[in-house]
Structure formats: structure tokens, C-alpha cells
Amino acid sequence: MRIGILTGGGDCPGLNAVIRAVVRKGIGEHGDEIVGFRDGWRGVLDGDTVPMDLAAVRGILPRGGTVLGTSRTNPYAVEGGPQRVLATIERLGIEALIPIGGEDTLGVATRLAEAGVTVVGVPKTIDNDLDSTDYTFGFDTAVGVAMEAIDRLHTTGDSHHRTLVVEVMGRHAGWIALHAGMAGGANVILIPEKPFDVDGVVAHCLHRFESGYSPIVVVSEGAKPTDGDMMLSTGEKDAFGHVRLGGIGAALASLLEERTGREARAVVLGHIQRGGTPSPFDRVLATRFGLAAVDAVHDGQSGVMVALKGTDIVRVPLSAATAQLKLVPAERYAEAEVFFG
């Protein structure tokens, strides 16, 4: 079969492991031809391809990023975009597409499947907010990076008797903050799903100082106070309509400094969370997703996404996976709250 593969949206450790698995299984077991599209849906719109043979995937398993490149191009936001995508698929004789992405990239995949294209999606995002899968690869690596940062901040914070505010990624879902904060022993974790009460955060920080230690506050970039005052964004939007966030960490640090009377500093982890080599968990999950995607294509499936359920890789409808985001449930946040203050 002639199978097209692309990586879209924010890059994520493990993307290369999926690509490698698709190529190794597709060529090795089925004699497939794998066509790589450069820079996500942009490559499909423009017919910009790269042949993915065995040599192309040699040595890429531990590499972060994506050898195919990525973009946030949305063909449905481009004049004549869907028609151009269909024309590329027809012209290149692509019999099935394997898009690797999050809600946006797979949202496009869902619509293309509805339009008759054979599509098997692979879930990816460091945010872990894609529905219908227990985990996405990239998340474990991002949490590891954030946890290591928190571990390091504990010692410098305690030495200087300062509050340290760590801003992590997560526009709508607080999974990275929740897991990194729990793993790193944060004193307060603030997530987009639960608007926070500033007085409560101040009280937790003061309590922490009273007990002889310095507070570490982990905040998702999309977290908001209950009064909505600190909602920060540049106003800039991407092709899928998402605003670029940033600044909650600095705003909170200056507020906490003022309200606690103790120095506070903000650390923004930003794209460090997305870069570099994938963790063992992410390499294995990404590899299993890649293998399962090839199986699904050869089983004649379309409009499905491979997903993790417990320890099994299953197939779920793409439409269900992209209908809504997977947010942190209240009971999971309550587990973390036991350690606040």
C-alpha cells in the first residue's frame, strides 16, 4: 500500500518513534511504500513530500522533535484547502493517511475521513488532553522535565526563603501541572479547570513559610483566578483559533511577593518541556501506536484513532476522540489538594 504520514501541531518527544515504527512495520512486514508529508497539513496542501524508507528512520528513535517537521496549518482555514488536500492524495496515489497529532491535527483528520479519505490517527500531545486515550506520548517526558525543575527549585527556594512559581504548559487542561506538581511535591497546583482563589494561594504560601520551608507554586499557563483578573495572552491566534498564552507565572509571583511580604520569582519552563529525547515510557507508547496504526490500515479501518486503554492499544472513533478535550476531573485535583500549604 502507499501510505502517507505526517506530524502536525506542537512537536512532542516520541514523534520520531511513531514514524520509525510505521516505516519499519509497513515496509518490513507488508512491503508498503511510506510517503512523508513535510510540516503537517501544510505538506499535504502543497504536495511537499519526502520518501520514508528504512534508511530515513535509522537512528531516530531517541531523537526529540520530528524528522518530518510540523506546523499548525489548518487546511479548513485555507481557501480551497480541503480540495487541495484531496487533489494531493489523488495525484500521489495515497491509499491511507496516518496523521500524528492532537485535537487540531486529528480534528482535520476526522473531517477528511468523513469526506471519504482512509485515515488512521495517532494521538500526540504533551498536554495529555486528547480524549479517548488514557495517555498520549510526550506527556511523560514533559512531566519528567517539569518535575526535575521543581526538584531543583526546592533547594534554591529554601536557601533564599523565596516563593518560586513554576509556569508549565497546558492551555485548557492541567495534566502537566497536576502530575509534575504531585511528583515534585509542590505546595500549590493551579490548573485551568479550577479557577483559583488568590487569598487561598497566599494562605498556603504563608503556611509553608511558617513551617520553615519555601513554597513552590506550579501553575498551568491557562490557569485563571476566580475574579478573572490575571487572564493573560498576547491576543495572537493560530490557524485553529488558539490564543498564545503566557505571563500568569510572572503576574502571580509579583502578587505573591506583595501579599506575603517575601521575595518571589517566576520560572517559565516553556518549550523546554517539549524538546529533547523521549522518556522510555513515551518511546514504547509511541512505538506501539505506530505499529497499531499500520495494523489498522491493513485491516481496512478508517476514521479511527489508535489509543491506550489500560495497557492495551485499542481503536476508537476519531470523531469521539476529537469531540471534546480530556480535562482533569475534580477528584484527581482533590488528591493533589491534600498536599497544599
Residue 48 Cβ vs ligand F6P, minimum distance, rounded to whole Å = 20
Query: Quick check: helix, strand or coil at residue 58?
Result: coil
Assess whether 127 carries a catalytic annotation: yes
Question: Per the annotation, does 125 bind a ligand?
Answer: yes
Residue with cell 476526522: 110
- Least Å distance between CB 266 and ligand F6P? 17
Q: Which is nearer to ligand F6P, 18 or 57 (CB)?
A: 18
Q: Which of 11, 39, 104, 127 is catalytic?
A: 127
User: In angstroms, rounded to a whole number, what is the distance separating the alpha carbons of residues 294 and 175?
Assistant: 29
Q: Which residues contact 334 (CB under 8 A, 6 or more apart)?
A: none
Is 262 annotated as ligand-binding? no
- Give the residue with the Cβ less far from ligand F6P, 76 or 240: 240
Q: Which helix (H) or strand (E) holds 257?
A: helix 248-260
Which element (helix H / strand E) includes 26? Answer: helix 15-30
Q: In this complex, which beta carbon is closest to ligand F6P, that of residue 268 or of residue 304? A: 268
Question: Cβ closer to ligand F6P: 42 or 208?
Answer: 42
301 is in an annotated binding site: no
Q: For residues 168 and 220, is the Cβ–Cβ distance under 8 A?
A: yes
Binding site for ligand F6P (CB under 6 A): 9-10, 102, 125-127, 169-171, 221, 274
**Please, which residues have CB within 8 angstroms of residue 238's CB and are 6 or more apart in sequence?**
72, 244
CB of 170 to ligand F6P, least distance (A): 6
Give the three cell numbers for residue 258.
Answer: 506583595
Nearer to ligand F6P, 141 or 214 (CB): 141
Shortest CB 10 distance to ligand F6P, Å: 4
Range list of β-strands (E), the chain? 2-7, 33-37, 49-51, 96-101, 120-123, 163-168, 188-190, 216-220, 233-237, 243-245, 264-268, 304-309, 312-317
283 labelled as ligand-binding?
no
Cβ distance 168 to 144 under 8 Å? Answer: no
Report the distance separating Cα 147 and Cα 179, nearest Å: 8
Residue 63, annotated as binding a ligand = no
Rounded least distance, CB 159 to ligand F6P, Å: 31
127 is in an annotated binding site: yes
Which residue ranges are tagged as binding site for substrate? Answer: 125-127, 162, 169-171, 221, 265, 271-274
Catalytic residues: 127
Which residue ranges are tagged as binding site? Answer: 10, 103, 125-127, 162, 169-171, 221, 265, 271-274
Which residue ranges are tagged as binding site for Mg(2+)? Answer: 103
